[in-house]
């Protein structure tokens, strides 16, 4: 992989020929650009203004349905005049809202199952913030939403009207409560309306299905897959992790003379006994059925936190390592990692504050300091382990070979064992290295560490193994000599912005790393999710 300019990046193709679902590039001809400029100046402002007026007109209907009802009363579905009047008003105004934005036609194929036949609806691919249009042909089913959305004007009122199920991403107990609430509604015997899920959990470019999250399948009840297509000549609706922002997508879509949406109801999927017991198996099988109907691949790609990751063997790695972004921040600040004294003590953590971090890296601009500091894992006091900083600077320096860098990583994070048994890399250190260098989520890296230790221990006492950690040779076998993981390390540590060049590839690693898909502009990743 060649070194790029400071303003460019190259997302990696690690999906074995599968289209990258996180990148959307909008290519317009000169004629199309002229057309969008004219219609954008004449049509888009009027459409967007009228759509916002209708959006605010939805608020009285949403407020009327829940006003005067206690939290206990809202634990049961709303009935009577509130249901009939407010439901009809929101449904009609919702259709008018999307009509004004240019969605003149909603073509429906197949037949929606009743709430008794399929208590849960799963819609995919989830590619844009326009996807709530699928609520209209589904007769406004209940949804699952982030609790933070309750504070958004109008949107919060509509979610209360919908009697949505709320989840807090910062509260593990909230997730358990959501699971129980979904199960309660799904098994209510038709008392509750259907619950709609976007099981991908975030937006993609419609070229491949992201890995389905198991939330919609935990109840083990039948689900009905719902396909969403936008068969327009120009794809202005996609809102992927890398691509046009929300304002551009809204403006371009409103500039289209007519946008079409296809909503297709597939046959109800009845889970087998094995699928009912295993939500992940259930989710994977439904994902494959929907991908086959769409004619696109089903992938293991997903978003963990705010970072897109892909699966390589048993390891999850970031689509674009955050280390690359850190390198661009430091390069923009004029900092050469080789000039920094990163004297971390091997095997012992030393937590430093943001102020000390700035002094160590000789950074003075507060914005640059905050941006660089945010790339490291912080404890509850807001401090970071200086070993993380030392390893990151060594990787960005580019003066070490891959073998030397892996030895340094081991020396920094391995711990001395009792009774002179040498040094071993335990789960926390292993997770820190993989999270820093590859962007791997810490829980996934910890699981892989446990599996490696268990497999090595089963290989026999002659290996000199321990269930608790990896020796230097075992870590090198994993990071340098493994045909798959060696390729991942050598590719991700061939930095496109290394100030002194790129680390030399290991002779022990596999040649022929993954190729780049496309170039784009370096920008902060957009946080997109439901």
Structure confidence by residue, pLDDT tens digits, 262-273: 999 999 999 999
Are 435 and 442 contacting, i.e. CB atoms less than 8 angstroms apart? yes
What ranges do the domains of the chain cover?
Answer: 30-299, 322-459+466-493
Give the whole-angstrom CA distance, residue 333 versus residue 224. 52
**Rounded Cα–Cα distance for residues 188 and 26 (Å):** 45
341 pLDDT band (50/70/90 cuts)? Answer: low
pLDDT value at 249 more than 70: yes
Determine which of 16-30, 261-275, 482-496 has the lowest per-residue pLDDT on average. Answer: 16-30
Residue 274 tokens read as 């094995």
Instruction: Specify the higher pLDDT residue, 178 or 4.
Output: 178
- What is the rounded end-to-end Cα distance, in angstroms, of the chain? 35
3-state helix, strand, coil in the chain (%, to 5): 45, 15, 40
Q: Report the SS3 class of residue 398.
A: coil
Average pLDDT of 349-361?
86
Residue 424: Cβ-neighbour burial (10 angstroms; 0-12, 13-18, 19+): buried
Mean pLDDT of 87-115: 94
Q: What is the mean pLDDT of residues 342-346?
A: 63
Label residue 110 by pLDDT band (50, 70, 90): very high
d(CA 467, CA 256): 61
Element (H, E) at 365: none
Closest to 332 in 3D by CA, of 293, 367, 381, 359 = 367
Q: Would strands 315-318 and 307-312 be described as parallel, antiparallel, or unpaired? A: antiparallel
pLDDT score at 305: 74
Both tokens of 52, joined, read 């916002």
Q: Which of 36-40, 124-128, 277-281, 523-527 has the lowest mean pLDDT?
A: 523-527
Q: What is the mean pLDDT of residues 454-473?
A: 72
The whole-angstrom separation of Cα 374 and Cα 306 is 13
- 16 DSSP assignment: T
Exposure b/e, 33-71, CB count within 10 A at least 16 = b: eebbeebeeebbeebbebbeebbeebbebbebbbeeeee
DSSP 193: P
Angle at 150 between CA 146 and CA 153, to 5 degrees: 130
Do 109 and 264 contact (CB within 8 A), yes or no? yes
Average pLDDT score, the chain = 83
**Residue 419: which pLDDT band, with cuts at 50, 70 and 90?**
low
Tell how far CA 171 is from the center of its chain. 18
pLDDT band per the 50, 70, 90 thresholds, residue 11: very low
For the record, the structure tokens of 305 come out as 């936190």
Percentage above 90 pLDDT, the chain: 39
The tokens describing 315, both together, are: 């390891």
Picking from 283, 342, 273, 322, the residue whose alpha carbon sits closest to that of residue 439 is 322
How far is it, in rounded angstroms, from Cα 289 to Cα 1?
Answer: 36
Flag whether pLDDT at 45 surpasses 90: yes
pLDDT at 136 > cutoff 90 = yes
The fraction of the chain above a pLDDT of 70, given in percent, is 85
Nearest to 429 by CA among 385, 397, 393: 385
pLDDT value of position 314:
86
pLDDT number for residue 342: 55
User: Which structure tokens are listed for 485?
Assistant: 């993981």
- The residue that leads in pLDDT, 506 or 217, is 217
Q: Specify the residue for token string 């963990």.
A: 304
340 pLDDT higher than 60: no
């Amino acid at each position: 992989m060649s070194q790029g300019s400071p303003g460019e990046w190259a997302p990696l193709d690690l999906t074995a020929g599968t289209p990258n679902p996180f990148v959307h590039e909008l290519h317009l001809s000169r004629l199309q650009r002229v057309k969008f400029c004219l219609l954008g100046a004449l049509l888009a402002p009027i459409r967007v203004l009228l759509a916002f007026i209708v959006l605010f007109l939805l608020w009285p209907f949403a407020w009327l349905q829940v006003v005067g009802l206690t939290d206990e009363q809202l634990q049961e579905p709303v009935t009577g005049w509130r249901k009939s009047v407010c439901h009809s008003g929101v449904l009609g105004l919702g259709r008018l809202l999307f009509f004004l934005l240019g969605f003149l036609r909603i073509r429906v194929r197949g037949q929606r199952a009743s709430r008794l036949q399929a208590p849960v609806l799963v819609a995919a691919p989830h590619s844009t913030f326009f996807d709530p249009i699928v609520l209209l042909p589904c007769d406004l089913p209940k949804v699952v939403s982030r609790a933070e959305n309750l504070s958004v004007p109008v949107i919060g009122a509509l979610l209360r009207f919908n009697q949505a199920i709320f989840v807090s991403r910062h509260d593990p107990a909230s997730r358990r409560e959501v699971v129980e609430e979904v199960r309660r509604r799904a098994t209510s015997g038709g008392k509750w309306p259907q619950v709609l899920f976007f099981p991908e959990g975030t937006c993609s470019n419609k070229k491949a299905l992201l890995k389905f999250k198991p939330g919609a399948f935990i109840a083990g009840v039948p689900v009905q897959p719902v396909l969403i297509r936008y068969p327009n000549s120009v794809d202005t609706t996609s809102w992927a992790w890398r691509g046009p922002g929300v304002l551009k997508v809204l403006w371009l879509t409103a500039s289209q003379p007519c946008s079409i949406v296809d909503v297709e109801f597939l046959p109800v999927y009845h889970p087998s006994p094995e699928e009912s017991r295993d939500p992940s198996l259930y989710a994977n099988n439904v994902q494959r059925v929907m991908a086959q109907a769409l004619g696109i691949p089903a992938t293991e790609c997903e978003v963990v936190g705010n970072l897109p990751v892909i699966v390589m063997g048993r390891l999850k790695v970031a689509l674009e390592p955050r280390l690359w972004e850190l390198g661009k921040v430091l390069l923009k600040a004029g900092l050469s990692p080789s000039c920094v004294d990163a004297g971390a003590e091997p095997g012992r953590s030393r937590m430093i504050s943001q102020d000390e971090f700035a002094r160590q890296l000789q950074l003075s601009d507060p914005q640059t300091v905050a941006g660089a500091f945010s790339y490291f894992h912080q404890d509850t006091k807001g401090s970071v382990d200086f070993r993380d900083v030392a390893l990151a600077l060594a990787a960005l320096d580019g003066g070490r070979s891959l073998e030397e860098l892996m030895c340094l990583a081991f020396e920094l994070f391995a711990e001395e064992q009792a009774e002179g048994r040498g040094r071993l890399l335990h789960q926390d250190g292993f997770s820190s290295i993989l999270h820093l260098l590859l962007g791997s989520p810490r829980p996934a890296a910890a699981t892989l560490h446990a599996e490696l230790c268990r497999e090595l221990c089963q290989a026999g006492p002659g290996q000199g193994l321990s269930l608790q950690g990896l020796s230097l040779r075992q870590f090198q076998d994993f990071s340098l000599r493994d045909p798959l993981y060696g390729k991942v390390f050598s590719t991700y540590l061939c930095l496109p912005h290394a100030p002194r060049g790129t680390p030399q590839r290991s002779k022990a690693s596999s040649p022929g790393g993954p190729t780049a898909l496309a170039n784009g502009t370096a920008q902060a990743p957009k946080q997109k999710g439901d």
